[in-house]
Structure 1
Amino acid sequence: MKTGIIGGTGFYDPGLLENEKELMIATPFGDIQLKSGYYHDQQILFLPRHGEQHSVPPHLVNYRANIWALREAGAGVVLATAAVGSLNLEMQPGEIVLVDQFLDFTKSRPVTFYEGGEDGVLHVDVTNPYCTSVCRHLKETAEGLQIAVHDKGTYVCTEGPRYETAGEIQMFQMLGGDLVGMTSVPEVVLAREAGLCYATLALVTNYAAGISPHPLSHQEVVEVMGRSQAVLRRLIFAAIESLSEERSCTCAGAAAELGSLGMKKNQTTD
């Protein structure tokens, strides 16, 4: 089983890969270029969410093509990185959070592979949107490496590309949000529809609007991510190295009720 890595803001290159090459994957939503390489004999597929030069804003990311391409190329597990702002003073800049829930405040994004007709309609269960098995493995790996992580956190996903107002952040706090970002939805939902074991490693880069003592900037996000990349990369690759081939979760069967419809009908490789 191959592992996919989706690199968020500031994480544009996987590093540590041998025999790296480019793959062009055709999907119904457009062609996607992946990097493929090996880490200790395990094949890794890497995709920079915003492009290698951060040229794609969060509301225009082709989430459906990205997830389809990773599945088409053979990924069974996807580890996604995300730069986030913190609404929770216990989750400080430079710290890693293993996201377990989300609140969706996006507005205009395609959110499903299943849009009726021949593809069918799927009301996918997202009680636990992020793979509990993979998140548990990441936590255990972090403990073994003595890397401090928060093993729970609710990610508030906004439309972007603007940052949030202080009033919005206050509302998100009242609703139980811990982190704020612009990319986890619909990515996590599409990964679930595709039967992938998906987990997000969120790197806190700043406090959110109204909490931060200074105006928010993209440069600050990139700088903090740059300083923290080595630890994040160390955790990701150690987790991949010890990841079991067995999938004990329910992620793979999330779209089972549709039988041969939708993605399965159009899938060409495993």
Structure 2
Amino acid sequence: MEILQSAAALQAQTEIWRQNKLRIGLVPTMGALHEGHLQLVRAAAQDNDVVVVSVFVNPTQFNNAEDFRLYPRVPDADAALLGPAGCTALFMPSVEQMYPQPTVLRFDFGPLERVMEGEHRPGHFHGVATVVSKLFHLSRPHRAYFGQKDLQQVAVIRQLVADLSFDLELVAYPTIREADGLAMSSRNRRLSPEARAVAPRLYQALALGASLVEKQQESPEAVQQAVEQFLAAEPGITLEYFALADGRTLQPVTGQWSPGSLVALCLAAHVGGVRLIDNVLVTLP
């Protein structure tokens, strides 16, 4: 596995691969890798001839400076995991390499970013779209791999690919969970033992909501109330939002259930001072 630290080096390498007719898979990450990331790397290695994994904590997608400062960074441990998983080139740029000058261009994804993460983290998806666009241009992948845990991010990037005509296939993989249901996340490293013991309640709340949605005996508003009450009973959790959304548009679901629709149950909450997100999808009969 080769480690590349400059944008020019990545561009040169991917140009050689392209000239040799090799299929390129890209797995963008912010590091502090876990099994969810490695699943994406292994899938990319199976589907393509070569795999680029980027490890870059992107400052433009953080609207909280303290959150950016505390985001876990373990580059040596990340590198040790990636080779055996099938990574061909690890791209670990500096901020100066990714942003040689301030970005003036602004992304706006309309209704898609007016809800959930977009509503609670203004500017977040502009930062995501900016860095992902840069990675697409630098690596010119045939396929790019993302995890469903960041459901809204996947929807935003899908829109980005469509609107800017990126010539690649976007591949999304299901969330990988710990044995107790907690969605794997780099931020889990920041949980204290006490907070880690409480954190699985987030998935339990989503499972409760999903069971009610599947039965369709309660209204969306009643499901919302049931999930919020479930989490309110846990003093170690501060709910930021819980949303019932259309699984494709991510717009709120209200009123009556629509047969055959895909429903996304999404939440963000603070557990021991650490902000975690999670979601589950339910297809109605």
The TM-score bracket by the shorter chain reads: under 0.3
* TM-score, normalised relative to structure 2: 0.26
Where relative contact order (Cα < 8 A, 6+ residues apart) is larger, the structure is 1
Q: Give the number of the structure whose residues are more often helix, by fraction.
A: 2
* TM-score, normalised relative to structure 1: 0.27
